[in-house]
């Protein structure tokens, strides 16, 4: 069969699907993630061009398209340049919401202007896209607001009454969806949108900060499902394939997050937060509740580092808050120049979204091979001389392994308690999201270094540089 220009949009869609598949596959490895992200962006750009070639819009439509591309592109550039790494979880939640809103608007537009001409498959797809898109949008906005600190978890959302309200809203959505399959316009259309929007708020609002990594990955999956449904609505094979891949990847990631937190998806969605606690031990981070805390100065920590042969850094959200990743990388390079073996222990849910620590350290040009996942690094802790925990809490709590009464029990954690010497860098003794004391802090080989992570790391750098190679041992002997 001969090729003609009429086949060009289909060919471009096929190439875009292949590039997108390669991009998603490349995201599975840290080393190839940046190039894979660019490949996926190229795929989306190619898909947009293919759609415009096929649609051949009018001159007036071109003006609107150009305006939309300019505004969207400008917003993307500004976001990429201005959003700090600590706000990346909120940004990802917002992007998920934008994806859900886009799918909702596409389905809404088709229902309003072409609903009478739509077939059964398109009508079902309209109902699904409206339902999932509205839940994704409202749920993502709530998640973003909670992560940003704009919205607290209301006390009334922790009562069992919320389950009845959510079930009622789900029933209304189901009924409106059945009506839309027969007649995709009219009152049922708006009932579906409003009820699904409220359901997204009702499901997400009670969930606390500890479960946010799961919520973000699940909402990402929802945005993919909504996009796939929108693909059936407009007859776009690329949207169907891309949405299905994003939806499946999001579900897999959600399961990985639940396993890493020793949580079930049902308990996350219907049980509220993992304690949902934001309280501090002893009230506001005092030492009440602890009886065997040892603290030390940055100078003492520097002495231990100078004598160590193997050092492992454990990054947590405190590192991100302090924007200390570059100081950490500088300290690690200094240790490496002294012949110290350095690596970074990465817990799947460290930070506030999946992969948060990987992205944070990649920004500071930390070598990919030094980022070691939990299962690989745990057997190495017994032969580690010094571990420095930077702002992490629940993910290093040994109670998860040995205290059946702990709410963390059964959660896979970094076994830093097996190391020879441990320094924990924190502003205070405040509890993590689980709201409980950390048994790691009271171990005999643990010393607390209180302070902002960036300030402490800079002090360590200054101390090591001022003493010089080999002089720390003389200082300790004296």
Taking the C-alpha atoms of residue 313 and residue 327, their distance in angstroms, rounded to an integer, is: 12
Strands 341-346 and 310-315, how do they pair?
Answer: parallel
CA–CA gap between residue 210 and residue 349 (Å, rounded): 9
User: CA 368, 370, 374, 380: dihedral to nearest 10 degrees?
Assistant: 160
CA-to-CA distance for 364 and 373, rounded, in angstroms? 18
CA dihedral (152, 156, 157, 158) positive or negative: positive
Which neighbouring-strand residues pair with 312? 343, 387
Give 176's contacts (C-beta < 8 A, 6+ positions apart): 127, 188, 189, 191, 192, 195
Q: Which of 13, 211, 394, 417 is catalytic?
A: 394
Alpha carbons 412 and 397: distance in angstroms, whole number: 10
Do 92 and 353 touch, CB atoms closer than 8 A?
yes
Contacts with 296 (C-beta within 8 Å, 6 or more apart), sequence order:
423, 447, 448, 449
* C-alpha–C-alpha distance, residues 323 and 122, integer Å: 48
Residue 135 · residue 196 · CB < 8 Å: yes
| DSSP three-state, residue 38 | helix
**Residue position matching structure tokens 């909702």:** 104
Active site residue 394: yes
Which class for 259: exposed (0-12), middle (13-18), buried (19 or more C-beta within 10 A)? Answer: middle
- Return d(Cα 9, Cα 13) in angstroms, integer: 6
Which residues form the catalytic set? 394
């Amino acid at each position: 069969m001969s090729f003609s220009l009429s086949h060009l949009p289909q060919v471009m869609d096929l190439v875009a699907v292949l590039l997108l598949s390669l991009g998603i596959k490349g995201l599975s490895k840290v080393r190839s993630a940046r190039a894979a992200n660019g490949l996926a962006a190229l795929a989306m750009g190619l898909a947009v061009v293919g759609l415009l070639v096929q649609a051949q819009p009018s001159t007036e439509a071109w003006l609107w398209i150009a305006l939309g591309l300019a505004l969207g592109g400008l917003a993307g550039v500004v976001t990429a340049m201005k959003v700090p790494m600590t706000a990346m979880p909120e940004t990802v939640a917002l992007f998920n919401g934008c994806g859900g809103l886009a799918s909702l608007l596409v389905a809404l537009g088709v229902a309003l202007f072409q609903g009478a001409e739509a077939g059964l498959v398109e009508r079902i797809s309209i109902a699904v896209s409206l339902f999932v898109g509205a839940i994704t949008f409202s749920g993502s906005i709530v998640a973003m607001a909670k992560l940003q600190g704009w919205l607290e978890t209301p006390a009334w959302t922790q009562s069992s009454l919320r389950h009845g309200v959510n079930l009622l809203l789900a029933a209304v959505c189901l009924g409106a969806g059945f009506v839309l399959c027969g007649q995709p316009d009219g009152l049922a259309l708006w009932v579906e949108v409003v009820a699904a929007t409220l359901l997204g708020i009702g499901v997400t609002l009670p969930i606390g900060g500890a479960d946010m990594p799961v919520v973000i990955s699940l909402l990402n999956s929802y945005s993919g499902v909504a996009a796939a449904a929108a693909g059936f609505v407009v007859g776009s094979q690329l949207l169907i394939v891309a949405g299905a891949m994003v939806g499946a990847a999001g579900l897999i990631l959600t399961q990985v997050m639940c396993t890493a937190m020793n949580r079930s998806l049902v308990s996350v969605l219907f049980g509220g937060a993992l304690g949902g606690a934001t309280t501090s031990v002893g009230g506001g981070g005092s030492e009440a509740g602890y009886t065997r805390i040892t603290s030390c100065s940055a100078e003492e920590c520097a002495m231990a580092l100078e004598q160590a042969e193997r050092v492992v850094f454990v990054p947590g959200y405190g590192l991100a808050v302090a924007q200390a990743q570059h100081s950490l990388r500088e300290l690690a390079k200094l240790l490496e120049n002294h012949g110290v073996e350095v690596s970074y222990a990465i817990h799947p849910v460290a930070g506030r979204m999946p992969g948060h620590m990987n992205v944070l350290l990649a920004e500071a040009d930390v070598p990919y091979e030094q980022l070691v996942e939990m299962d690989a690094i745990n057997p190495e802790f017994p032969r580690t001389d010094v571990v420095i925990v930077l702002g992490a809490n629940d993910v290093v709590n040994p109670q998860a392994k040995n205290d059946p009464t702990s709410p963390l029990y059964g959660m896979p954690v970094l076994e830093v308690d097996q190391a020879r010497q441990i320094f924990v860098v924190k502003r205070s003794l405040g509890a993590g999201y689980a709201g409980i004391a950390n048994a790691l802090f009271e171990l005999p080989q643990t010393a607390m270094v209180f302070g902002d992570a960036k300030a402490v790391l800079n002090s360590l750098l200054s101390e090591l540089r001022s003493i010089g190679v080999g002089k720390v041992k003389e200082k300790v002997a004296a």
